[in-house]
Amino acid sequence: MSAKHGLGRGLGALIQDTPPTESPKETTAGVVRVPLARIRPSPWQPRRRFAADALAELADSIRERGVLQPLLVRRVGEGYELIAGERRFRAAAEAGLSEVPVILMEATDHEALELALVENLQRQDLNVIEEAEGYRALAEKFGLTQEDIARRVGKARASVANSLRLLNLPVSVRQFLSEGLLTSGHAKALLSLEIEAEQCRLAEQAVRDGMSVRELERIVARIKRAPRKPRESRSDIPANHLNRLSEALHQRFGTAVRVEPCRTLANGKKIKGSIQIDYYSNEDLDRVLGLLGVSGDL
């Protein structure tokens, strides 16, 4: 069997001359050729999206020059399981190859997942959601702390923590991030909002309007801006009733609705109340007006 190597130090430290357990068809510095049909994709692969055009270009290159960089595999039963190099594996299959060069490693499930994640991160092949899901897999499947994960992938703990926070966003927003339509900067601004419906609506607007991170941050800041401190007064609506009313209005309009109750000052004077309904585009305004029974074509 091949010797085990340390993790979290980059593939250069992991890929060393390793004699295979079977008589290789061809061997060059630890590289052995095996049938493509005997290799199965890794269940630990953090990467989920493979651009069809880029894969086709790589397949054309492989037809002309072959697989120049060996795949990294481990033995599983009578076959092999891919650890690193799934894009090359897929392109080789598309190119019609029957055999590919591999480097055979001994690795546990834990080590295979770490290697798959580290290899992809080093190549910058993961989108931000795939990266976050890879970190979550390390944490949930193997009980690693954020500090452990950061050390293994060579990043700051804060970077890992910020990446994991992206998984708190709604599914539709995560999809925009996966497709590169929104950046981590957009996501950070959206995460500061507490209402999921607002996050989704603003994300859609940001994509539709090609909004920059700064533009989105300004809109979020307006939504979150606290009202001026009121003078000494008493609310005319009990707090618990006000909360129920605000929630009912939010459910009705699908956006933030702020109810400011009438207040009575210490001298007995009344201060008027108000209702503020947020909207984010002319179409959104038409939707809100429709719910109010008002036509926008006045």
User: What H or E segment, with its residue span, contains residue 206?
Assistant: helix 196-209
Look at residues 104, 105, 115, 155 and name the one whose alpha carbon lies nearest to residue 137: 115
64, 67, 111, 105: which is closest to 86 by C-alpha? Answer: 67
- C-alpha 278/C-alpha 285 separation (Å) is 9
Burial of 237 (0-12, 13-18, 19+ CB in 10 A): middle
Catalytic residue, chosen from 81, 86, 111, 119, is 86
- How far apart (Å, rounded) are the C-alpha atoms in residues 95 and 62? 7
In 3D, which of 271, 280, 264, 184 has the Cα closest to residue 223? 280
DSSP state of 179: T
Residue 232 among the catalytic residues: no
Which residues are identified as catalytic?
86
